[in-house]
Amino acid sequence: MLIKLEENIEAKEDYLLEEEGLQSRNELESIKSKRLQMQALYMEYLKKLAEIEMHIALYRRFYNDVSINFVSSRIRKLNKAEKL
C-alpha cells in the first residue's frame, strides 16, 4: 500500500508547482521512511517466527522422547512391580 502511494506521488510530481512539489517530496520521503521501517520490522518478525518454530520443534522432540522413552518405561516397571 505504501509502494502504491509512493508511485502515485512520484507520478504526480511532474505536474505540481514548485511549492507543491517540495511538499510532495517531503511527503514522499516520509512515506519511503515508513515503508523501509515496516520492511525492517517485517524481516525481524519473520526471523522471530523462524526461531519460535525451531523451539517448538525442539520441544516436541524432547516431549516425545520423555513420554515414550522415559515415562512409559517407568510406568511399565511400576505395573510389573504391582503385579508381583
Taking residue 34's Cβ as centre, other Cβ atoms within 10 Å add up to 13
Answer whether 35's CB lies under 8 Å from 3's CB. Answer: yes
Please state, in angstroms and rounded to a whole number, the distance separating the CA atoms of residues 26 and 13: 11
pLDDT in tens, the chain (84 residues): 778 877 777 777 666 556 666 677 788 889 889 999 999 999 999 999 999 999 999 999 999 999 998 888 888 888 888 876
List Cα–Cα distances, 56 to 44, 46, 53, in angstroms: 18, 15, 5
Q: Are 28 and 6 in contact (CB under 8 A)?
A: yes
